[in-house]
Amino acid sequence: MSLYKVVNPATGESISEYATATDAAIGDALARVHAGYLSWRTSSKDDRAKMLHRVADLYRDRADDLAAIITREMGKTTAEALGEISFVVDIYRYYADQGPALLADAPLPSNTDGTAWVRKASVGPILGIMPWNYPYYQVARFAAPNLMIGNTVLLKHAPQCPESALQMEQIFHDAGLPGDAYINIFASNEQVADIIADPRVCGVSVTGSERAGTAVAALAGQHLKKVVLELGGSDPFIVLDTDDLPKVVGEAAAARMENGGQACNASKRFIIADAIYDDFVEQFTAVIASYTTGDPTNPDVAFGPLSSEQAVRNLDEQVQDAVSKGAKVRTGGKRVSGPGAFFEPSVLTDVVPSMRAFREELFGPVAVVYRVANVEEAVALANDTPYGLGASVYCKDEALALDIADRLDTGMVWINAPEGGGAELPFGGTKRSGVGRELGPYGIEEFVNKKLIHTPSA
């Protein structure tokens, strides 16, 4: 049975299969991507920027076909798939436009006799291990800065995304990138371990589960390879007070339900001040219950299926564990009967630490709402998680909101707004949510050789 295959999660239908690479093919890819690096590193920054602009153009021109592929692979609605591709275009354009300046030499004041500066140089081939939930976006935020730097890319995509993986490789080649500078590989986990060990590979970037990140980081550490890890999240959405509760409720619901709740930085835990808790729960439950799930190609559907049968089983087990221990289901709470990996839009309250839902990431359309008595309780509950990706803080007192932001153990905080993003804004977290940053000016500095150069005085 093939590891790489497309199974439509909306129907359970097996559509296509792709052979896992042979060890010989992996060896050939390693030789090629290293040879490609020796050439690509000598290209000019302007030429790399022009190539990235052509990549952006091709994503724009092929958006409808690309969107249909990921809807079929992982169940994203057509509208959300097109939105993802629009973001991808922004990322490639950002690094095309800003990359040369971001990689410019940085002069250093020095007491030595001469002139010193740091040059941001390429390091070599980088392995990217990417997930299924945003098949194009996750690759863009890894590939765009690395190719701009002059590194080359080996891409190991999620097994359920072979068609989108092949389409991305084709786009780079059609844009004029040398064929050995970006290579897609349908590798097994055992082959990934060998790739990380290979001395020609200079770093590893992983977006995925905590389990995957831990395994890759352990292997990379054995071989002294740098890693960037973008892992799970259980992001808090804190509401202390507001003059417009319906607006905040709507933003909270959207923050949870984007991509069917399958986003590492989705708001998952809603921490609400006692004074507004009852009203928030009533309104929030009504809005969540109004979301519809079904055929992801139907424009009237809010979200499609979860990514796979296994994903819906895992979520159902977490919810049923909570219910069996006393959690209250305000709406939803179970998978949808019939074919496909569908789960009802759901709200849980009265979740306590003995339940899996208190500590584990809920990767699907399930929100958990908590009541807190004061700011101290809100901050303590927000930080009572192994994760530390992002957070939202709603508070009329902006100074207090900023103070809370400083006290949160997260990599990102949004004040009086749901978590968002942009090509220019760094993305990443702390604790079990990973290490390193992607996007923005910090994302281009992860896999660079910050080389000191010194010349004597004349």
Q: Which residues pair with 153 in a beta bridge?
A: 126, 182
What does the alpha-carbon distance between residue 153 and residue 144 come to, in Å, rounded to a whole number?
10
Which tokens hold the place of 94?
A: 């950002």
Torsion (CA) 92, 95, 98, 103 in degrees, nearest 10: -160
User: What is the Cα–Cα distance from 316 to 322, expressed in whole angstroms?
Assistant: 10
Contact 388, 407 (CB under 8 A): no
| Active-site position among 73, 230, 251, 438 | 230
Q: Whose CA is closest to 262, among 410, 355, 132, 146?
A: 132
Q: How far apart are CA 259 and CA 444, in angstroms?
A: 27
Out of 161, 202, 264, 395, which one is annotated catalytic? 264
137: which residues sit within 8 A by CB, 6+ positions away?
A: 84, 87, 88, 91
Buried b (16+ CB within 10 A) or exposed e, 298-312: eeebbbbbbbbeebb
Residue 446 falls in the annotated catalytic set: no
Q: In angstroms, rounded to a whole number, what is the distance separating the alpha carbons of residues 280 and 349?
A: 12
Give yes or no: 230 in active site.
yes
**Active site (catalytic) residues:** 230, 264
